[in-house]
Structure 1
């Protein structure tokens, strides 16, 4: 049997990670998700006469049931009293989350904001399209160095890196091809991505925390929408979030896409333990292709999904420029994503 060649990059990273294994310490071991923080105002919320559910422990179904049992005036009044909690709580009706975030962040009053937190690096979730009537929802999960400050402008002022811009490109392309398509696109900065190329980027703790948030978010999206299907698109480190979330995503998530992915935290497609179709691509000039697909004691992210041996379906991206160009208007990748979003769950965008 011919010997498998080991690339210099793979050999170097393997040796480096092996050295870290010998050093030991807190860097090693499985990914550890951080429990959700108690939101500001939670004590007053729990003491409210309407007896709302605990925002930390109650799942979207429990939250939705509570709001369904309120008179409309009471639900609106609660959103006005506690906009920070209502505006970020999965299971709260869409219109109330929009209202709460308009009240709490009037500078974004002309946008459909489904979540907003300006503490630390910040979090924000923006919707394009009519989420309440959408039959298909596309969730874009961004990667390393994405924060609230760059949500509209992109890391380093490079617009094509901005989640809001990427979501607009995809939504516009969907509308151009299928004007009547009932599709919503969500730019989901619902977790805290790592910064730079340090410890947090090599490990998956941030991704594990983000995966729990993504599972909760998608659980909320399917409540009351039995015919709805969902596409999750993870770019770069965001694909690790999607990969770790995959086993716990609702069955209505029919497609998971990994763009420019350093790995999904598993050795191959079967490790995702999902019935969803899994798609992947890495542009010819994307530096992510040089990342070795190794994983040793919690360091590294496993085989790249763009590697045919991973087992993902290939998405076209030969004309994509670099690591951040997947949503540029002229690319085959953007068209394929639009086709995937606008088709039935069993449609093929290739």
Structure 2
């Protein structure tokens, strides 16, 4: 992206959890209000989300907002997938999607992945978390070209994953700038089994082996505009080598049926089926999708 390149040049010059969960909850230290009460106080549509019985682990309507929702039974899950969204994601878009496009919504993607894991292995005990636990950058801005928001997000993600039930295998899935958050968090999370980068500009690392002991997977569609983002990293500027680069060493996921930058987790795409295979521990499904 020409604008992105210009930015690079210029820059160079609270918790409600199941009672059966004995471990410490992932909490927002700034909030002491129970999640359902906070959602009710924020008004619609958030009050409606709470009334509908959806399970939110945390919620904060201040600023651009934050929310962490779980699909499935987190307390009994053997495998947990955590979806980390990218640039421009806000609480306003958590359900409706950026620009009103549903496929971009973290909650919609989490449900699509949960259903895909059920199709891959109906007996598997899976939970999928839509994790908007940080403040993503806005648009093609200097903040989007830097890693400072991602570093803050990675610290929050590490705390969240460390508080998950200890028996569950964890897969981290980052889309776009969210893959940078995941990449910065992964080396500090030895319990993570798999890391998935979707449409990623970079993960803050030069090689998959830099991300700890997890298996690293990557998908980049042929018409994804992220391919035009320069592969640079100087101090906090730029995101490094793309995980789709052969030199990075990630395992390639198929992208048949994926259109553009936001279609990786759409029902019917080969990437969604493959990611479901990764989450359920079916590497054969991931490779064959």
When normalised by structure 2's length, the TM-score is 0.86
Give 1:87 deviation, angstroms.
8.2
Q: Choose which of 154, 172, 181 in structure 2 pairs with 1:241.
A: 181
SS, match of residue 221 in structure 1: coil
Q: Is the 8 A contact 1:284 1:318 kept in 2?
A: no
Structure 1 CA distance, aligned partners of 2:119 and 2:142? 42
Give 1:349 deviation, angstroms.
1.9
Q: Choose which of 63, 67, 84 in structure 2 pairs with 1:120.
A: 63
> Which runs of 5 or more structure 2 residues have no equivalent in the other structure?
16-21, 41-46
Change (3 A) 1:315 1:101: same
Larger Rg: 1
SS, match of residue 170 in structure 1: helix
Moved more, 107-116 or 231-240: 107-116
Change (3 A) 1:176 1:192: same
Show the 5 A alignment for 1:1-350.
Answer: 13=5, 17-18=8-9, 20-21=11-12, 23=13, 88-89=27-28, 100-106=34-40, 107=47, 108-109=49-50, 110-222=53-165, 225=166, 227-249=167-189, 251-272=190-211, 274-343=212-281, 349-350=286-287
Query: After TM superposition, where is structure 1 displaced by more than 3 Å over at least 4 residues in a row?
Result: 15-20, 86-90
SS, match of residue 326 in structure 1: coil
Structure 1 CA distance, aligned partners of 2:171 and 2:7? 36
Moved more, 290-299 or 194-203: 290-299
Give 1:198 deviation, angstroms.
0.8
RMSD: 2.5
Q: Is the 8 A contact 2:195 2:217 kept in 1?
A: yes
SS, match of residue 310 in structure 1: coil
When normalised by structure 1's length, the TM-score is 0.72
Moved more, 172-181 or 332-341: 172-181
Q: Residue deviations 1:237-287, cap 9 Å, x none?
A: 0000001111111x2210000000000112222332x00001111001100
Structure 1 CA distance, aligned partners of 2:285 and 2:206? 25
Q: Is the 8 A contact 1:127 1:186 kept in 2?
A: yes
Q: Is the 8 A contact 1:285 1:321 kept in 2?
A: yes
User: How many matched pairs?
Assistant: 269
Q: Is the 8 A contact 1:140 1:167 kept in 2?
A: yes
